Amino acid sequence: KNEVEQSPQNLTAQEGEFITINCSYSVGISALHWLQQHPGGGIVSLFMLSSGKKKHGRLIATINIQEKHSSLHITASHPRDSAVYICAVMFQGAQKLVFGQGTRLTINP
Amino acid sequence: SQTIHQWPATLVQPVGSPLSLECTVEGTSNPNLYWYRQAAGRGLQLLFYSVGIGQISSEVPQNLSASRPQDRQFILSSKKLLLSDSGFYLCASERNTEAFFGQGTRLTVV
């Protein structure tokens, strides 16, 4: 079964802390996406990965194909990073994106 | 790159009224198109996906329907809304593993 699991479901941290959000999936994939959803609901695409590591500003995304696992890291976290972070996967041979449940991140000043 | 236009951004509709949400895609051709729904406090659930004009696959039974009258147009409809149809609706486009997302529509059925 094609499944995507994220952890933790909720994460609260202090400003400046290093944040890690995890995503595990069940079978081989062709691509994995990290998305950010703010309280208003709009979704922003952060990264698309099929291997290795990508960095954009304070955000870093990594993927380990053998372990079927991806992580999203935020360095020097800031209250404006507070949002729901969602992992979405395109499984090999499938035609649909499967979303994780999301991780609600709250950064306190 | 692709751009997805989804409207309206917010919508308040009475129970029993019809619904039509539209999604159009620019910058690509023959994308796979998706409608997702997110109920309050829940994750995004796939409702429909389409791999081409007139081709619609439904993932969950409900009183919603979808249509794809043109290659880059995907429409979500209902003849009679239920209270349980309230939620956040998201259109997505995918081609060659690249995915793009609309801004979403927050629907409140009252």
Task: Give percent above pLDDT 90 in chain B.
Answer: 69
Confidence tier at B51 by pLDDT (50, 70, 90): very high
Between residues 2 and 41 of chain A, which touch chain B (CB distance below 8 Å)? 30-31, 33, 35, 41
B46 touches chain A (CB under 8 A): yes
pLDDT score recorded for residue A38 = 84
Average pLDDT of span A82-94: 90
Q: Answer whether A97 sits within 8 Å of B99, measured CB to CB.
A: yes
Q: Answer whether B97 sits within 8 Å of A50, measured CB to CB.
A: yes
C-alpha radius of gyration, chain B, whole number = 13
pLDDT score recorded for residue B96 = 79
The dihedral region occupied by B54, where left means phi > 0, alpha psi between -120 and 50, and beta the remainder, is left
- Partner residue opposite B43 with nearest CB, options A42, A48, A101: A101
Q: Answer whether B49 sits within 8 Å of A86, measured CB to CB.
A: no
Write out chain A residues lying below 8 Å of B42, CB-based. 101
Q: Answer whether B99 sits within 8 Å of A42, measured CB to CB.
A: no
- The answer for residues whose C-beta is within 8 angstroms of residue B109's C-beta and 6 or more apart is B12, B13, B14, B15, B81, B82, B83, B84, B85, B86
Average pLDDT value for chain B:
91
Which residue has better confidence, B93 or A42? B93
At residue B41, φ and ψ (nearest 5 deg) are: 75, 10
pLDDT score recorded for residue A2 = 67
**C-alpha neighbours within 13 Å on the C-beta side of residue A76:** 2
B48 touches chain A (CB under 8 A): no
